[in-house]
Amino acid sequence: MSRSIKAVLSVFILLSVVISGATTMNKAAATTSTSVLSEDDIVYMILTDRFYDGDSSNNGTLGNEYRPGQLKYTQGGDWQGIIDKMSYIKDLGVTAIWISPPQQNELLSRDGSESGYHGYFTHDYNSTDPHFGSKAKLIELVNTAHANGIKVILDAVPNHTADYLNGTATSYSPSTYAPAAPFNDPSWYHHNGDILDYNNYTQLVNNDMGGLDDLDQSNPSAKAAILSAYSSWVADVGFDGIRIDAASSLPKSFITDFQTATGVPTFGEVFNGDVNFVSDFQNYEWGVLDFPLFFSSRDVFANDTSMNNLKTIFDQDYKYQNTNHLVTFMDNHDRDRFLNLANDNYKKLRLAMTFLFTVRGIPDVYYGTEQANYGGGVPTEYTGIANKENREVMPSFNETNINFKYIQRLAQIRKDYDALRSGTQREMWSDSFVYSYSRRIDTTAHEVITVLNNGYDSSTRTIPLRAESTIPVGTVLTNLLNTSQTVTVASGGVTGKQITVTLDGKQGMILAAGMVASYTPPTPTITKIRVHYNVGYGNSMYLRGSNYPLWWDKGRAMRNVSSDVWEFEMERIPAGTTVEFKPMINNDTWSTGSNYTVTGGTTVDVYPSF
């Protein structure tokens, strides 16, 4: 038998073994969770290097890849750090953690401008990254998570390695600058240069993403090696699901083979806002990250656009195989932080989280959202991928702050009401400011109604119940976010049953029938500045100040509430803290005189001169 025939047979046998799930395993060291990733889960995305440094001995070499304070380089977070903070993760109420890719990464990018801290500069698909810990430590992490009722999601990178092949080169130069075997075979890669048009699917699949060497999954040897590597990660470590990085750059048939080989549900990153494009990928795997809803909902809740934009997305839900397997989110490691875009408005954040936890799909919370991480406060994604300030080191693990408590409450509500996990979503009301929907399990009649007011002012709406609803007239519905608020179902409307709801500005209600344990939400510490001045048509008022979210060198736009009144609210300022500030017209004309002051937790009215 010739060597070439032996090689082909070897590849065929390996591929067959991988797909059948009969890869060599080390199950003795890893426990399995009670179930795999499902629509019942709440995901918490952790950028491992930025979460918590539990083992300083694996931090690397100072001045090379490990550069504390420089966010393009390694900061020291590791698997021991996640283990150390498992009780915090459990207390938040999430049921699954999505951690950074575990495999060994190249220390630095080709130009040295960043390290491989994030996990997407793959060097060795079959070894752990020493900055995170050993394989035994990773197994310990998964076992600890499982013992706390938390699943672990593997972030897989089957599309590319680090940038070893320069441009369209077909050989490594120098030969030592290459990925670990067996992935150091240049014939396993495409050599077509970078993707120039991200709307061109042929380029997405066959070209390099930002210079990263693009694996050719149609090469039988390459495909077998990829499937073997990731099947072993799942089998040896005990992962419960997989997020597939850059799924839109992979052949769709490969995605199906990948999920079959690994044996756990996968959801792909399809970085595109077009439902037609994204929905097709769910024909090839269990789930998909819901980028179309992300782009629309973030704009609605951070930038105050019309709630009807949500309707535009939901009206296309029929295009998906299963909308409850979509993974929904408000920000991530490639996009600006939500609070960054929302002028640090916590009310906006809480309303967006209410939407995230009640809408169809699996909510995914980016680490630090519960600690009001704001990614530097200055948007950066207009230059492309946001990959620095939005990847800040976790600032604290405070379980008493209002945003932690709010997400914790939402997680508990989602766990308590199965309609929010697997119910059919049906729209009840849509206008520029108010959006309402029902989640109902038709076989059991379990139903929860959500009403959201994205305006700044109090709004009242009379909303018909859905024709499918079996909630009878006279039923008292309780707001699960504040049980002192109730709504009674009345007769009338197009379906014969309706509710009249009054919501404060930037408020959401989650309404359910039946006995509900009393719950009073924590009271926010609101600091409000009101500037009284008529700036004239076409002009705006800005603020600068001494404490974030204000700066002295940049202005914050104020909200116009009447012809001569402008407002700005903050919750980040602790009660009793003194903040200096000055108003500015059009962010370029300072008010005259001395600085003004406001004390945290109070409202101040100022009448400046210009």
Secondary structure (DSSP) of 461-477: EEEEPPTT--PPTTPEE
Residue 507 and residue 582 in contact, taking contact as beta carbons nearer than 8 Å: no
Q: Which structure tokens are listed for 39?
A: 């629509």
Residue 425 and residue 111 in contact, taking contact as beta carbons nearer than 8 Å: no
Element (H, E) at 104: strand 103-105
**Cα(540)–Cα(106) distance, integer angstroms:** 49
**Cα(328)–Cα(288) distance, integer angstroms:** 9
Q: Which letter does DSSP use for residue 5 in this model?
A: H
* 610: number of Cβ within 10 Å: 11
* 335: number of Cβ within 10 Å: 25
Q: Which structure tokens are listed for 152?
A: 């672990």
Element (H, E) at 358: helix 346-358
What does residue 522 show for φ and ψ, rounded to 5 degrees? -65, 150
- In the chain, % helix, strand, coil (3-state, to 5) comes to 30, 25, 45
**Cα(332)–Cα(269) distance, integer angstroms:** 12
Task: Provide CB contacts within 8 A for 312, sequence distance 6+.
Answer: 296
Selecting among 245, 304, 336, 364, the annotated active-site residue is 245
Residue 298 and residue 338 in contact, taking contact as beta carbons nearer than 8 Å: yes
* 28: number of Cβ within 10 Å: 6
**Cα(524)–Cα(529) distance, integer angstroms:** 16
Relative to beta strand 490-491, strand 578-585 is unpaired
Instruction: Tokens 């009969």: give the residue.
Output: 22
Selecting among 49, 257, 269, 336, the annotated active-site residue is 269
Instruction: Tokens 């210009």: give the residue.
Output: 610
**Cα(232)–Cα(66) distance, integer angstroms:** 29
**Cα(502)–Cα(487) distance, integer angstroms:** 9
Q: Which structure tokens are listed for 107?
A: 């220390």
Residue 100 and residue 46 in contact, taking contact as beta carbons nearer than 8 Å: yes
Secondary structure (DSSP) of 422-449: HPEEEEEEE-SSEEEEEEEETTTTEEEE
269 is annotated as an active-site residue: yes
Gap between the terminal Cα atoms of the chain: 91
Sign of the torsion formed by the C-alpha atoms of 285, 149, 50 and 29: negative
**Cα(108)–Cα(63) distance, integer angstroms:** 12
Residue 552's nearest CA partner among 592, 587, 602, 525 is: 587
**Cα(453)–Cα(430) distance, integer angstroms:** 10
Element (H, E) at 237: helix 220-237
**Cα(364)–Cα(387) distance, integer angstroms:** 18
Half-sphere CA count of 148, side-chain side, radius 13 A: 24
Q: Give me the active site residues, please.
A: 245, 269
